[in-house]
Amino acid sequence: MMGERTVAQEALFYSFSLERHVPADHMLRSIDRFVDLSGIRKHLKPFYSEMGRPSIDPELMIRMLIIGYCMGIRSERRLCDEVHLNLAYRWFCRLGLEGDVPDHSTFSKNRHGRFRDSDLLRRLFETTVERCMAEGLVGGEGFAVDASLIRADANRQTGGPGSEGLPPDADRRAVREYLAVLDDAAFGAATPVVPKFLAPADPASRWTCAHGGQAYYAYSTNYLIDLDHAVIMDVEPSTAIRQAEVTACKRMIERVQDRFGVWPERLAADTGYGSAEMLAWLVHERDIHPHIPVFDKSARRDGTFARADFRYDLGDDSYVCPAGNRLRPRNRNFTQARGDVGQDGFIRYRARQQDCAGCDLRQRCTPNMPARKVTRSIHEGARDLARDIATTDAYVTSRRQRKKVEMLFAHLKRILKLDRLRLRGPNGAKDEFLLAATAQNLRKMAKLIPMPTQMAPA
């Protein structure tokens, strides 16, 4: 006989516990152990009025944002719907079954106001770093740095030539943020080159085709990580050019040293960070060993002698050519003293014409010039140190460990789905990058630190 469902009368009272319905192995349950928002209200108190109606609990909004970035929920509208329906999300937000979910517009109003004014998201991120350090996940000896391009929320079809500036009807908020960072070394002042195109919706974003495909507007997210467990120690937004990324690297190292008192012994990075100025800054100002390939264009393709074929004599401050002749910054004395360093930061060592004229190796050295010239950076000592480090086994290990930062970028784009920004302007990029790095550190702790075993009741 076929059974028939009996329509039961609704009970007047229910006994329901969210705690029992969230699985023990749910990721949010593991992440919740490391979320400490006890200081948020005190931090935000100066930014709230003493009068008026009570506002939405800032801790609730932060917990919802953590869910969004940990779970790859990019839309705040969808985030509100998911928190309303998902029991685990309600448990994490401490909402209960009957708690009201705030409207999506609440996030925008707080983001443009008190969250940015108080730098709350930076504080939230640094709290996760402190927790990682307390859990023993930060060694503090080796760091790695790199940058990755993230598409901006700007249509590549609507941009105009950079030389013409912005149209009169450009978005006012975007223009204000664009003007505010024109003198910032990580944005407008990173290079004097006028951008090829400007996006009216987000003029601070940079037109780039660095990936070799179709050009698009983008920002760079810069990560400074600890090499032990790939904990993100700092994150910084910048415009999508190499000079700005080097500036962001310096800022992150300084901030980590000032904020956490962590002074790494070595820094691993790619060749883009191997300029003479950057290497000198690491060696002489921060006492950090650069495990970085030296950016060097002195090699020649025509078969003639390169700079590496000339031996530098430190005591005599001269170069010795393969034929045994010396190249000096000055081959005669001048009435008025002249500086040896050019505006580009290089010293030019020149051979005497009579030495080169009768030299048997001239065709292999300087066939088209009357005398050979060799340039040397004023930071050549730091470059030589980096070259010496590149011959060690520790350097090989650092080059292998540096891939951890690239894996974080892959996780950021594929798992957390932050391959395109949703917010605009430098502040929007900063907010998204900080929240994403916070989510990655929380997920890292949840993965590496096991849940405590629950004792069965007697």
Quick one: pLDDT at residue 16? 74
Q: What is the DSSP string of 177-242?
A: HHHHTTT-TTTGGG-SSPPSEE-TT-TTSEEE-TTSSS-EEEEEEEEEEETTTTEEEEEEEEESSH
- Measured between alpha carbons, how far is 321 from 448 in angstroms, rounded to an integer? 56
Given this model, what pLDDT does residue 457 score?
A: 43
The tokens of 53 are what? 């109606």
Q: How far is CA 294 from the centre of its chain?
A: 21
Structure tokens given for 429? 């990029």
pLDDT for position 159: 82
Question: Please, how many CA atoms are within 13 Å of residue 446, restricted to the half-sphere of its CB?
Answer: 19
Give, for 222, the enclosing helix (H) or strand (E).
strand 216-226
What is the structure's pLDDT at 212?
Answer: 75
| Predicted local distance difference test score (pLDDT) of residue 333 | 59
CA angle 93, 407, 184 (to 5 degrees): 80
In the chain, CATH 3.30.420.10 covers 124-295+387-448
Residue 327 CB neighbours (<10 A) = 23
The pLDDT score that the predictor gives to residue 456 is: 42
pLDDT at 455: 45
Which pLDDT score, from 0 to 100, does residue 129 have?
A: 97
Give the homologous superfamily in CATH for domain 124-295+387-448. Answer: Ribonuclease H-like superfamily/Ribonuclease H (3.30.420.10)
Instruction: Report mean pLDDT in 10-residue bins for the chain, 458 residues.
Output: 56 72 91 92 88 86 96 94 94 90 91 90 96 95 96 87 78 83 89 88 90 88 96 96 94 96 95 94 95 88 87 88 88 58 81 89 88 89 93 95 96 95 94 97 95 59
Q: 397: how many CB neighbours lie within 10 A of its CB?
A: 15
pLDDT score recorded for residue 454 = 60
Residue 157 has a pLDDT of 84
